[in-house]
Amino acid sequence: MKVLIVGGVAGGASAATRLRRLSETVEIVMFEKGPYISYANCGLPYFIGGTIKEEEKLIVTKPDLLENRFGIDVRINSEVVSIQPAKKTVTVKNHQTGKTYEESYDRLILSPGAEPKRPPLPGIDSEGIFSLRTVPDTLIIDRYISEKKPNRAVVVGAGFIGIEMAENLKDRGLDVTIVEFAPQAIAPLDLEMAAIVHEHLRQKGVNLLFGTGVPSFEKTIENESVRIPPDTRPHLIKNYDFRQIVPYINMQMLLGHHLGLKGKVEELLAAGDKKALQLKISVDEMINRIWRDHLLDCHAIYQFFPCQSDADDLLIYNPKKPNEILETFHFPRQKKEPFLCLSDYVHERSSGIVDYVGMFVVTTGKRVIQTATQFKQNGEFLNSHLLLSIALEGAEGFAELVHQRMRDQWQIGDASDLTMKDRLHGKYIGQRFSFGYPACPDLADQEKLFRLLKPQQIDVSLTEGHMMHPEGSVSAIVFAHSKARYFTV
């Protein structure tokens, strides 16, 4: 008697060993299309969570044990692709060699298990969406978490496996939300019993969304076609004419924030407010003096870099050697909807599409401190304060100007009717982000930006606390994505 078994995990392997116990003489051949037989499905989520540390521990039995101890002919990577009942044969494809052959039988046992259900929802085939059924599925999820370091996971379905996955993803350090169509977890339980499960999950910090279906899967930010900059070489601007920067200076910030004028500067000036007018005259006189006596040294350096994202990381590539990663920035992701992260504004590494970001550093120069001190020594206290304030806001204005120039070169130039007020409110395509602000709070990232741009060429350096010296300097990383905007994390 020759018995063939299709499927070599739970049902198949136990049928094979049971059969051997019933008969020592029967010839048993077991086909398994995957690389593993007889593994512990129940352990798969716990391997992902780290409770089970070694892959080996998932495997209950290996082919050689079944062969040597039970005399079972185990053929892994072998898929039964058709059955010929009239002839009592099956056709088998060996996935390792690619060869196909026939095998005869007296009796045939089918134990092919089931496939995970993947409802045909829009976006279900996107990157980062997994089902868990086999050891290979487990290893794929495990590797994804190790490599991409996602911050959060959504488990669709609060059945036994969904809850085990939530528990293990939580153990792995992710923020987990379970989405379940039914009003409770684990449908066979009465609601009173399920409530205990809910409470336990909530205590563990798992977010629960009951009575909620998943209609589709979408990325928070859709990729756009890549904006290719004209070049990826450094652009150095030395001794820029200060008069060109003046229109970009935010007078609300200068007169209001730095010089203490209360109210809306624009409205006060339009209404002829005496104090506002006097202050504005003093500012204008100082601006003229800065230009006439060349009191500020306005320099800038900017460059576009090829880049890609990898989960929450932004990978900056060497423009001359496209595969070489020069720096990796890690950005925080929002913990609540819409779950924004700066890295989302460029194409992912897995897409194979190379994207671009810009970076710049601008400064109004080092000499200003000396000059301001000199003014003070001469008794020109207001002028000293005016000069320092204009140097600070001038650097901001210069950043605005350089950013505009970069947008022009990136072919996302401003609309012809965009006013300076709109510009100062960021109403253009793309956005610039300075380290230390909520979306990129790590000031130490300045080090990376400095390694990339080398702004020492324009006399800007970093203090030990990663602040720029001179103070009248602004640095930023620039994205061209039309949805790029400021957000808090």
Ligand X SMILES: Cc1cc2nc3c(=O)[nH]c(=O)nc-3n(C[C@H](O)[C@H](O)[C@H](O)COP(=O)(O)OP(=O)(O)OC[C@H]3O[C@@H](n4cnc5c(N)ncnc54)[C@H](O)[C@@H]3O)c2cc1C
Question: Whose Cβ is closer to ligand X: residue 5's or residue 386's?
Answer: 5
Q: Residues 112, 150, 332, 426: which binds ligand X (CB under 6 A)?
A: 112
The CA distance from 31 to 12, in Å, is 9
Binders in 202-241 for ligand X, by CB under 6 A: none
Tokens of 6: 């299709």
Q: Is 11 in the site for ligand X (CB under 6 A)?
A: yes
Q: Is 159 in the site for ligand X (CB under 6 A)?
A: no
Question: Whose Cβ is closer to ligand X: residue 76's or residue 298's?
Answer: 76
For this structure, is 42 an active site residue?
yes
- Using Cβ positions, the residue closest to ligand X within the complex turns out to be 113
Burial of 378 (0-12, 13-18, 19+ CB in 10 A): exposed
Under a CB-based contact definition with an 8 Å cutoff, are residues 395 and 474 in contact? Answer: yes
Residues facing 31 on adjacent strands: 6, 75
Q: Residues 57, 62, 88, 133: which binds ligand X (CB under 6 A)?
A: 133
Q: Is 33 in the site for ligand X (CB under 6 A)?
A: yes
* Closest to 418 in 3D by CA, of 410, 409, 429: 429
The CA distance from 386 to 381, in Å, is 9
The CA distance from 369 to 183, in Å, is 66
Q: Is 113 in the site for ligand X (CB under 6 A)?
A: yes
Under a CB-based contact definition with an 8 Å cutoff, are residues 408 and 229 in contact? Answer: no
Residues shown for the chain: 489
Q: How many CA atoms lie within 13 A of 26 on its CB side?
A: 22
Stretch that binds ligand X, among 42-50, 384-392, 420-428, 453-461 (CB under 6 A): 42-50
* Closest to 296 in 3D by CA, of 382, 360, 387, 361: 387
Q: Is 34 in the site for ligand X (CB under 6 A)?
A: yes
Q: Is 397 in the site for ligand X (CB under 6 A)?
A: no
Question: Starting at the edge strand that comes first in sequence, how are the strands of the sheet with 107-110 ordered?
Answer: 72-75, 27-31, 2-6, 107-110
Q: Is 150 in the site for ligand X (CB under 6 A)?
A: no
Q: Is 12 in the site for ligand X (CB under 6 A)?
A: yes
The CA distance from 431 to 478, in Å, is 6
Stretch that binds ligand X, among 33-41, 46-54, 302-310, 443-451 (CB under 6 A): 33-41
Stretch that binds ligand X, among 110-118, 274-282, 356-364, 430-438 (CB under 6 A): 110-118
Question: Whose Cβ is closer to ligand X: residue 6's or residue 340's?
Answer: 6
Stretch that binds ligand X, among 108-116, 257-265, 401-409, 417-425 (CB under 6 A): 108-116
Number of residues that bind ligand X (CB under 6 A): 22
Stretch that binds ligand X, among 36-44, 262-270, 316-324, 441-449 (CB under 6 A): 36-44
Q: Is 94 in the site for ligand X (CB under 6 A)?
A: no
Q: Is 9 in the site for ligand X (CB under 6 A)?
A: yes
Q: Is 161 in the site for ligand X (CB under 6 A)?
A: yes
Smallest gap from Cβ 12 to ligand X, in A, equals: 5
* Cβ count near 180 (within 10 Å): 23
The CA distance from 95 to 76, in Å, is 9
Q: Residues 7, 162, 470, 472: which binds ligand X (CB under 6 A)?
A: 7
Smallest gap from Cβ 177 to ligand X, in A, equals: 19
Under a CB-based contact definition with an 8 Å cutoff, are residues 28 and 19 in contact? Answer: yes
* Closest to 141 in 3D by CA, of 33, 44, 40: 44
Smallest gap from Cβ 123 to ligand X, in A, equals: 23
Q: Is 132 in the site for ligand X (CB under 6 A)?
A: yes
Q: Is 386 in the site for ligand X (CB under 6 A)?
A: no
Under a CB-based contact definition with an 8 Å cutoff, are residues 158 and 167 in contact? Answer: no
| Alpha-carbon distance values, 105 to 75, 88, 153, 474 (Å) | 15, 6, 47, 78
Question: Whose Cβ is closer to ligand X: residue 138's or residue 184's?
Answer: 138
Under a CB-based contact definition with an 8 Å cutoff, are residues 58 and 42 in contact? Answer: no
Stretch that binds ligand X, among 5-13, 397-405, 420-428, 477-485 (CB under 6 A): 5-13
Binders in 352-381 for ligand X, by CB under 6 A: none
Q: Is 111 in the site for ligand X (CB under 6 A)?
A: yes
Question: Whose Cβ is closer to ligand X: residue 91's or residue 177's?
Answer: 91
Number of helical (H) and strand (E) elements in the chain, helices listed first: 14, 19
- Name the CA dihedral angle for 70, 72, 77, 82, rounded to a multiple of 10 degrees: -150
Q: Is 140 in the site for ligand X (CB under 6 A)?
A: no
Question: Whose Cβ is closer to ligand X: residue 79's or residue 142's?
Answer: 79
Binders in 60-89 for ligand X, by CB under 6 A: 79-80
The CA distance from 167 to 254, in Å, is 53
Residues near ligand X, by CB under 6 A: 6-7, 9-12, 31-34, 41-42, 44-45, 79-80, 111-113, 132-133, 161
Residues noted as catalytic: 42
